Amino acid sequence: MNAPLPDHVRPRVQARPIPAAMLEALRTRFGERCSTALALRQQHGRDESVYDVPPPEAVVFCESTDDVAFVVRQAAQHAVPVIPFGVGSSLEGHLLAVQGGVSIDLARMNRIVAVNAEDLTVTVEAGVTREQLNRDIRDTGFFFPIDPGANASLGGMSATRASGTNAVRYGTMRENVLALTVVTAEGEVMRTGTRAKKSSAGYDLTRLYVGSEGTLGVITEITLRLYPLPEALSAAICTFASIDAAVRTTIQIIQLGVPIARCELLDANAIRGVNQYSKLELPEAPMLLMEFHGSAAGVKEQTETVQAIAHEHGGTAFRYASTPEERTRLWAARHQAYFAALQLRPGCRCQSTDTCVPISRLAESINESIAEAEASGIPYWTVGHVGDGNFHLSYLFYPDDAREATEVERLSEQMVRRALRLEGTCTGEHGIGLHKMGYLVDEAGPAALEAMKRIKRALDPKNIMNPGKVLAL
Amino acid sequence: MNAPLPDHVRPRVQARPIPAAMLEALRTRFGERCSTALALRQQHGRDESVYDVPPPEAVVFCESTDDVAFVVRQAAQHAVPVIPFGVGSSLEGHLLAVQGGVSIDLARMNRIVAVNAEDLTVTVEAGVTREQLNRDIRDTGFFFPIDPGANASLGGMSATRASGTNAVRYGTMRENVLALTVVTAEGEVMRTGTRAKKSSAGYDLTRLYVGSEGTLGVITEITLRLYPLPEALSAAICTFASIDAAVRTTIQIIQLGVPIARCELLDANAIRGVNQYSKLELPEAPMLLMEFHGSAAGVKEQTETVQAIAHEHGGTAFRYASTPEERTRLWAARHQAYFAALQLRPGCRCQSTDTCVPISRLAESINESIAEAEASGIPYWTVGHVGDGNFHLSYLFYPDDAREATEVERLSEQMVRRALRLEGTCTGEHGIGLHKMGYLVDEAGPAALEAMKRIKRALDPKNIMNPGKVLAL
């Protein structure tokens, strides 16, 4: 069911075999926690992208930063690649072992190291997932807001600079990671910051490693900002005659400074899928799904302001809900959109192309991408974190159908090139991985690309940290 | 009136003279905009720190990114240092020409390049000051909130990762710079990001250059986030029996999620100075000065919540004000504190030591620093951006009195070492410059320091970008 690697990616595939001495050292230290079983390797050699490459040669289940440092020191000694693995939910081929090597599974590093409620900080091991974190700290009255959809690990979310639905209010991983523990490419352990909320002390290593996709070191612990659980929460949905009207509504919400917590757009196709899947009767037209956090009075005021703005732009069927049950019902469309869409074409795969543009260019960006998808005949649907100018066009296709695979790649490329023309980025939150390396070259330009390459070479001189991703050296 | 360089800094002073050929090339291109006049060089060879070192050999007034690139290409060719200069308001010796070279004055690069109101972004040249920016965009209904006190240039604020009073709500320069134009150490021009609000495309060069203090390249343009001018604004002051009570009030405000815009602490000494200076009769006790932004109802709700919290902690003399005139009166103490303090010791200098700690350690941190200052007999006063755990102890002393200079250095060191012990940072917002290089070594630890040095060497192989600052190579 997977697609072959596109031509521009294939040349990067090369094996760098694990020498027997290294495998022996890993087996001696880790025993059964070091495995070369094919099924395990295959499970660690893929993510949510659609490509097929050979799996890593071995998988090591690490339980501590020291474990990770041991593996990396071995890898450094023998110039063997290492690829950190969280839950495998990345989307652009980040985890594919294009040069072989060892997959470092961090799922067992799932301890909450320290909750500092007075400081609104928490330190976790890299394998803790966002759902686990919020479950474990529920009694403190605080929560961690970043929600990329998947129940990803916080190590993985840091490594890809993830964001998602709450970012419009709470920021992305960039704003919410205070400090990291990182195993360097030499197997040294470093701390990239302190627990202070801000600092001007030297180069911002934290932000350099957030979004580095495992190519500069392995993130093993993360200190995160927490937020007080809001006193009141309310959700709302509203339907519009066009994408333009929904986006204009969003722009005005942001311009007025309404502290909206979520502002999601779904297109008519997404709603159609959900209606079929869940036997709902939502209007099959562009819809905004919103959430408001604050004091009871504040949430009421936000809801009324947004309703008035939506009304100005012809929004209809404005409904809102304050109880958890009602909120869940309103958000059903958003939560079910992915699975509902897959049902529209049994057995298909979904490729979700992610771009982010200045919000004034968002309607143009979405409308043209949709027009191209319509013309191609490939089924698609759209969802957008529109408060941030970030949206995804998801194409439903059969990867082993060469015509469809090529067509999806072409649609995706047109969408990315448009985002770059409109002063946006080739990825708002999914990352570069393997798939978008060519686009990064165009987005960054020669001088910034050269700076990134120099940083990579300086911090990973043997090119063992998730090699062949982000940058072609 | 200036102090000699402390012993740990002096060895870094070394001249790297400008060859005649380079001076000739600069004069040919820049004419009178290239100067070697002593008065100008001296003016560009100091900042608000207290040290005396020889001035740069030449000053070039640049008017464009191309001008800067020309100077840097010359400097690269002849291995001559360059030091970017904004308004000269940095505090830790950032601008001192410890290795000679050329001061690049950016004050004439003061154009607003583009206001994109729909996207809440603005692009400015590096010499634009924050007051100029807010004046020039006043009619748009938006503002740029970061306020470090001085009317600094936005290039300088980016280079030192500045913050100040509004950071508790709006973040620091780290959160508010979207992208930079940078002249690299080879004189190439690069753009570190796009106008998209978020991105996962490659290494975060923007955040690497924010806070790099001119040691990796010269920032020539900055794209910033803007915010809607709040519908309503209110200020409040409240007096407490102890620093502890004021800090406990602050912690509770933050824990409850009150979106307070400013939360400043002044100690009794600061108030005493202001009372004498301005003939006021404020209670000479720890005081919180606060500001609230939001809708009219929201601001009222915030003010009431904070008043109730302050009351719980014994806060008295709670006063608030909504009109601009009343607000200015309430904030008089904060705005006059520096000049009022200097009047307490005619002819003295003020050294302001800056640390930031997790907010739960803030009261301990301030109280012990105050006790040490009391014991030393050196006059001092305290002000803190306490919502962020950031505070300054300012010592009033005569730099040419060796005993006082030594004593201030000792007090400052004790305060920094305490911050590091309490999981904080040696600088929340002033930067490393020359003065705090030793503390950065201790804070970062060997592996992180090595990573910073590798980055510096990779991006500035000839060590010409503000050499001898931040890192000792």
In a domain, B114, yes or no: yes
User: A12: exposed, middle or buried (C-beta count within 10 Å: 0-12, 13-18, 19+)?
Assistant: middle
Cα–Cα distance list, B279 to B98, B272, B273, B284 (Å): 43, 10, 10, 13
Q: What is the distance between the alpha carbons of residues A171 and A55, in angstroms, rounded to a whole number?
A: 35
Beta carbons within 10 angstroms of residue B374's beta carbon: 11
The residue among A228, A248, A263 that closes a domain is: A228
The residue among B381, B396, B421 that closes a domain is: B421
E strands within B214-333? Answer: 217-225, 227-228, 232-239, 262-266, 287-294, 316-321
Q: Which of A120, A121, A356 sits opposite B196 (nearest CB)?
A: A356
In a domain, B148, yes or no: yes
In a domain, A450, yes or no: no
Tell me what ipTM this predicted complex has: 0.96
How would you classify the pairing of strands B390-397 and B380-385? antiparallel
Cβ pair B75, B102 in contact under 8 A? yes
B143–A contact, CB cutoff 8 A = no
Q: Which of A197, A205, A298 sits opposite B388 (nearest CB)?
A: A197
Would you state the pLDDT for residue B2?
Answer: 57
Q: What is the CATH number of the domain that holds A196?
A: 3.30.465.10
Instruction: State the smallest CA–CA distance between residue A278 and chain B in angstroms.
Output: 33
In a domain, B428, yes or no: no
pLDDT tens by residue, B124-169: 999 999 999 999 999 999 999 999 999 999 999 999 999 999 999 9
Q: Please give the backbone phi and psi of residue A297, each rounded to the nearest 5 degrees, phi first.
A: -65, -40
Interface test with A, best of B186, B199, B231 (most A CBs within 10 A): B199
CB distance A390–B163 less than 8 Å?
Answer: no
Query: Which positions 35-64 of B are in contact with A (Cβ < 8 Å)?
Result: none
Beta carbons within 10 angstroms of residue A316's beta carbon: 12
B459–A contact, CB cutoff 8 A = yes
Instruction: State the smallest CA–CA distance between residue A239 and chain B in angstroms.
Output: 22
In a domain, A290, yes or no: yes
Residue A156 and residue A267 in one domain: no
Would you state the pLDDT for residue A15?
Answer: 81
In a domain, A198, yes or no: yes
Residue A257 and residue A180 in one domain: no
pLDDT-derived band at A327, boundaries 50, 70, 90: confident
SS3 of B73-119? HHHHHHCCCEEEECCCCCCCCCCCCCCCCEEEECCCCCCEEEEEHHH
Cα–Cα distance list, B35 to B103, B109, B204 (Å): 10, 17, 36
pLDDT tens by residue, A85-126: 999 999 999 999 999 999 999 999 999 999 999 999 999 999
Q: Which of B195, B389, B454 sits opposite A423 (nearest CB)?
A: B195
Residue B3 and residue B70 in one domain: yes
In a domain, B134, yes or no: yes
CB distance A448–B192 less than 8 Å?
Answer: yes
Q: Please count the structural domains in chain B.
A: 2
Six token digits for residue B151 = 């009317």
- DSSP, residue by residue, A249-271: HHHHHHHTT---SEEEEE-HHHH
Residue A318 and residue A412 in one domain: yes
pTM higher than 0.90 for the full model? yes
Q: Which of A67, A111, A97, A223 is nearest to A158 (CA)?
A: A223
Residue B2 and residue B127 in one domain: yes
Residue B119 and residue B142 in one domain: yes
Residue A391 and residue A271 in one domain: yes
Q: Which of B84, B42, B79 is nearest to B61 (CA)?
A: B84
Residue A205 and residue A249 in one domain: no
Residue A266 and residue A381 in one domain: yes
Residue A211 and residue A252 in one domain: no
Strand, helix or coil for residue A86: coil
pLDDT tens by residue, A182-213: 999 999 999 999 999 999 999 999 999 999 99
Q: Given a cut of 60, is residue A178 above it in pLDDT? A: yes
Instruction: State the smallest CA–CA distance between residue B32 and chain A in angstroms.
Output: 31
pLDDT over 90 for what percent of chain B? 86
In a domain, B430, yes or no: no
CB distance A451–B255 less than 8 Å?
Answer: no
Residue B277 and residue B340 in one domain: yes
Residue B450 and residue B344 in one domain: no
The residues pairing with B352 across neighbouring beta strands, listed in sequence order, are B394
How long is chain A? Answer: 473
Q: What is the CATH number of the domain that holds A371?
A: 3.40.462.10
- Domain hosting A139: range is 112-228
Query: Which H or E element spans position B304?
Result: helix B296-312
Instruction: State the smallest CA–CA distance between residue B51 and chain A in angstroms.
Output: 20
pLDDT tens by residue, A30-82: 999 999 999 999 999 988 887 878 899 999 999 999 999 999 999 999 999 99
pLDDT-derived band at B51, boundaries 50, 70, 90: confident
Interface test with B, best of A92, A143, A161, A197 (most B CBs within 10 A): A197
Q: What is the distance between the alpha carbons of residues A183 and A160, in angstroms, rounded to a whole number?
A: 17
Cβ pair A143, A166 in contact under 8 A? no
